Amino acid sequence: MNVLRIQNAEKHFGDLQVLRDISLTVDHGEVVSIIGPSGSGKSTLLRCATFLETLDGGEIDYMGEAAVRTEDGKVVYAKDLNAFRRQFGLVFQNFNLFPHYTVLKNLMDAPVTVLKRPKAEVRGECMELLRKMGLEDKADAYPCQLSGGQQQRVSIVRALAMKPQILFFDEPTSALDPELTGEVLKVIKQLAEEKMTMVIVTHEMAFARAVSDRVIFMDGGVIVEQGKPEDVFGDTQQERTRQFLRNYQQ
């Protein structure tokens, strides 16, 4: 079964069409990277998939259930969107941790408040996740006391603590100093090895190549090319992709 299925997604900002007839399915355990020039609609696609933006047309299913439908040209969102939000997590470029909460409270607040799960159980799981990330000694720290790389790892754990079926990343290392990107990429790689389903928007080409099962190249709001990383990077079919990758290598 597809974890995520997007069909014919359309999105405009005023007169600007940002997504044109985008269709995309992600299978369980699959790691998909999305690359493309600035303004090509990568973030918008993730924001539509996570309901931060509303589609103008198209359909979105999570785990075979319809979250968004288009009926007679009208986009209809499911009544209980929070049921769908439980299926995914989103890691932001600039972390968006809650600054007034400790690390542990950042992790526990949503599982306890939103999912209404028992505190002790959630705490145990969150501490375990922190240990896995080598952050257990930061449980009582505040986000402002952490480095950017640590903050981003905490925000990944915050998403994982909700036990999502799929994780979205929007340029998870773009806000980090170069020497800090490695620790975050390592964590994502580790998740990929554990068969976490992930969609990653990134400008880190070497990383995309190494970690993905599939690479998607977007430009001008359309998927120009997609395939196995070795094909997209090694045996590029489309001139636009070739151009983009050429600019990147310089």
Interface residues toward ligand ATP, by CB under 6 A: 13, 16, 18, 36, 38-44
Q: Are strands 57-62 and 2-13 parallel, antiparallel or unpaired?
A: antiparallel
Give me the least distance between CB of 141 and another protein, in Å please: 10
43 sits near Mg ion (criterion: CB under 5 A): yes
Q: How many CB atoms lie within 10 A of CB 156?
A: 22
Q: Which of residues 12-51 bind another protein (CB under 8 A)?
A: 50-51
Give me the least distance between CB of 19 and ligand ATP, in Å please: 8
Give me the least distance between CB of 174 and Mg ion, in Å please: 8
For residue 109, the partner it binds in Mg ion, ligand ATP, another protein, none, with Cβ less than 5 to 8 A by kind, is another protein
3-state secondary structure at position 236: coil
Nearer to Mg ion, 43 or 181 (CB): 43
CB 175 within 8 A of CB 95: yes
CA nearest to 180, candidates 151, 154, 156, 158: 151
**CA–CA–CA angle 125, 126, 128 (5° rounding):** 65
82 sits near another protein (criterion: CB under 8 A): yes
CA–CA distances in Å: residue 197 to residues 138, 173, 192, 241: 27, 19, 7, 25
Q: Please, what sign has the CA dihedral across residues 221, 222, 227, 230?
A: negative
For residue 44, the partner it binds in ligand ATP, Mg ion, another protein, none, with Cβ less than 5 to 8 A by kind, is ligand ATP
Q: Both ends of the chain: CA-CA distance in Å?
A: 40
Q: Site for another protein (CB under 8 A): which residue of 54, 96, 147, 243?
A: 96
For residue 152, the partner it binds in ligand ATP, Mg ion, another protein, none, with Cβ less than 5 to 8 A by kind, is none
Q: Site for another protein (CB under 8 A): which residue of 64, 144, 247, 250?
A: 144
CB 238 within 8 A of CB 225: yes
Stretch of 10-18, 83-91, 189-197, 219-227 lying at the interface with another protein (CB under 8 A): 83-91
Q: What strand order describes the sheet that includes 74-77?
A: 16-27, 2-13, 57-62, 65-71, 74-77
85 sits near another protein (criterion: CB under 8 A): yes
Residue ranges in contact with another protein by CB under 8 A: 50-52, 82, 85-86, 88-90, 92, 94, 96-100, 109-110, 113-115, 142-144, 158, 162
